[in-house]
Structure 1
Amino acid sequence: MTSDQRVVVIGGGLAGLRLAQRLGPAAAVTVLGEETHAPYNRVLLAEVLAGRYAPEVTALPAPGPVLRRGVRAVRVDRAERVVHCDDGTVARYDTLVLATGSNAVLPPLRGLFEPEGRELPDGVHAFRTMDDCLALSAALRPGVRAVVIGGGLLGVSATRALAARGAQVVLAQQGEHLMERQLDAGASALLHTHLTSLGVEIHTECRVRGLTTSAARGSGGSAPGNGAALGQRRVTGVELADGYRLDADVVVLACGVRPRTGLAQAAGLEVRKGIVVDDHLRTSDPRIHAIGDCAEHDGQVYGLAGAALEQADALATVLTGAPAPYTGTRALTRLTLGGAENGSLDLAAFGETTALPGDDVVRLADATRRTYRKVVVRGDRLVGGVLLGELSTVGALARTWEGGEAPHDLFHLLTDDGGH
Structure 2
Amino acid sequence: MRTTRRVVVVGGGMAAARLAQQLGGVPEAAVTVLGEEPHAPYNRVLLAEVLAGRYAPEVIALPRPAPGVAWRAGARVARIDRSAHRVVCEDGTEERYDTLVLATGSNPVLPPLHGLFGPGGAAAGVHAFRTLEDCLALGRAVREGTPAVVIGGGLLGVSAARALAARGARVVLAQQGEHLMERQLDAGAAALLRAHLVELGVEVHTECRVRGVRTSGPGGRVTGVDLADGFRLDADVVVLACGVRPRTGLAREAGLALGARGGVVVDDTLRTPQDPDVHALGDCAEHDGVLYGLAGAAQDQADALARVLSGEEGAGYAGTRALIRLTLPQYALPAHALPGAPQPAGAGPLDVAAFGQTTPHPGDDVVQLADATRGAYRKIVVRGDRLRGGILVGDLGSVGTLARAWEGDEALPATPLLHLLTHDGGY
With normalisation by structure 1, the TM-score equals: 0.94
Aligned to 1:155: 157
CA apart distance, 1:358: 2.2
Amino acid at match of 2:320: T
Query: Do 1:3 and 1:28's aligned partners in 2 also have CA atoms closer than 8 Å?
Result: no
CA apart distance, 1:118: 5.7
The match for 2:357 among 342, 346, 352 is 352
The match for 2:316 among 325, 333, 357 is 325
Query: Do 2:15 and 2:103's aligned partners in 1 also have CA atoms closer than 8 Å?
Result: yes
Aligned to 2:97: 93
Aligned to 2:425: 418
How far apart, CA to CA, are the structure 1 residues paired with 2:361 and 2:195?
27
How far apart, CA to CA, are the structure 2 residues paired with 1:359 and 1:151?
29
Cα separation, partners in 2 of 1:385 and 1:62, compared to 1, 3 Å: same
Pairing 1:250-269 to 2, within 5 Å after superposition: 250-269=237-256
Cα separation, partners in 2 of 1:3 and 1:13, compared to 1, 3 Å: farther
Instruction: Name which of structure 1's ranges 410-419 and 366-375 shifts more when overlaid on structure 2.
Output: 410-419
Pairing 1:146-295 to 2, within 5 Å after superposition: 146-215=148-217, 231-272=218-259, 273-284=262-273, 285-295=275-285
CA apart distance, 1:257: 0.7
How far apart, CA to CA, are the structure 2 residues paired with 1:3 and 1:109?
54
The match for 1:316 among 303, 306, 320 is 306
Aligned to 1:22: 22
Q: 3-state DSSP class of the match of 2:418?
A: helix
How far apart, CA to CA, are the structure 2 residues paired with 1:362 and 1:140?
43
What do you get for the CA RMSD once the two structures are aligned? 1.2
How far apart, CA to CA, are the structure 2 residues paired with 1:72 and 1:186?
44
Aligned to 1:222: none
Q: 3-state DSSP class of the match of 2:377?
A: strand
Cα separation, partners in 2 of 1:254 and 1:3, compared to 1, 3 Å: farther
Render the CA deviation track for 1:179-224: whole Å, top value 9, x for unaligned: 0111111101111111111111111111111100001xxxxxxxxx
Q: 3-state DSSP class of the match of 2:136?
A: helix
CA apart distance, 1:338: 4.5
Indicate yes or no: 2:288 matched with 1:298.
yes
How far apart, CA to CA, are the structure 2 residues paired with 1:250 and 1:349?
30
Q: Among all aligned residue pairs of Structure 1 and Structure 2, give the percentage whose two residues are the same amino acid.
A: 71
Query: Do 1:176 and 1:204's aligned partners in 2 also have CA atoms closer than 8 Å?
Result: yes
CA apart distance, 1:389: 0.7
Render the CA deviation track for 1:137-156: whole Å, top value 9, x for unaligned: 00111111010000000000
Amino acid at match of 1:166: G
Indicate yes or no: 2:86 matched with 1:82.
yes
Render the CA deviation track for 1:347-384: whole Å, top value 9, x for unaligned: 11111122222221100111000001110112221111
Aligned to 1:103: 107
Q: 3-state DSSP class of the match of 2:389?
A: strand
Query: Do 2:305 and 2:316's aligned partners in 1 also have CA atoms closer than 8 Å?
Result: no
How far apart, CA to CA, are the structure 2 residues paired with 1:330 and 1:106?
29
- 5+ unaligned residues in a row in structure 2: which ranges? 333-346
Indicate yes or no: 2:379 matched with 1:388.
no
Amino acid at match of 1:300: V
Q: 3-state DSSP class of the match of 1:286?
A: strand
How far apart, CA to CA, are the structure 2 residues paired with 1:20 and 1:135?
29
CA apart distance, 1:232: 1.2
Render the CA deviation track for 1:94-136: whole Å, top value 9, x for unaligned: 000000001111111000012xx46111111000001100000
Render the CA deviation track for 1:208-260: whole Å, top value 9, x for unaligned: 11100001xxxxxxxxxxxxxxx311000011111111111110000011110
CA apart distance, 1:412: 2.4
Amino acid at match of 1:130: L
How far apart, CA to CA, are the structure 2 residues paired with 1:23 and 1:98?
15
How far apart, CA to CA, are the structure 1 residues paired with 2:221 and 2:363?
53
Q: How many residues align?
A: 402
How far apart, CA to CA, are the structure 2 residues paired with 1:81 and 1:371?
55
Cα separation, partners in 2 of 1:340 and 1:201, compared to 1, 3 Å: closer
Render the CA deviation track for 1:295-338: whole Å, top value 9, x for unaligned: 00011111110000000000011111114231111111111224
Render the CA deviation track for 1:253-307: whole Å, top value 9, x for unaligned: 0001111000000000001210000111001211100000000001111111000
Query: Do 1:280 and 1:325's aligned partners in 2 also have CA atoms closer than 8 Å?
Result: yes
Query: Do 2:322 and 2:407's aligned partners in 1 also have CA atoms closer than 8 Å?
Result: no
How far apart, CA to CA, are the structure 2 residues paired with 1:325 and 1:77?
26
Aligned to 2:70: 66
Render the CA deviation track for 1:157-181: whole Å, top value 9, x for unaligned: 0010011111111000011110011
How far apart, CA to CA, are the structure 1 residues paired with 2:134 and 2:319?
31
Query: Do 1:160 and 1:338's aligned partners in 2 also have CA atoms closer than 8 Å?
Result: no
Query: Do 1:164 and 1:338's aligned partners in 2 also have CA atoms closer than 8 Å?
Result: no
Amino acid at match of 2:24: G
Amino acid at match of 2:326: L
How far apart, CA to CA, are the structure 2 residues paired with 1:293 and 1:76?
19
Instruction: Name which of structure 1's ranges 74-83 and 348-357 shifts more when overlaid on structure 2.
Output: 348-357
Query: Do 1:208 and 1:240's aligned partners in 2 also have CA atoms closer than 8 Å?
Result: yes
Q: 3-state DSSP class of the match of 1:363?
A: strand
Aligned to 1:223: none
Aligned to 2:403: 398
Query: Do 1:155 and 1:255's aligned partners in 2 also have CA atoms closer than 8 Å?
Result: yes
Amino acid at match of 2:227: L
How far apart, CA to CA, are the structure 1 residues paired with 2:384 and 2:206?
34
Instruction: Name which of structure 1's ranges 31-40 and 149-158 shifts more when overlaid on structure 2.
Output: 31-40
Indicate yes or no: 2:116 matched with 1:112.
yes
CA apart distance, 1:66: 1.5
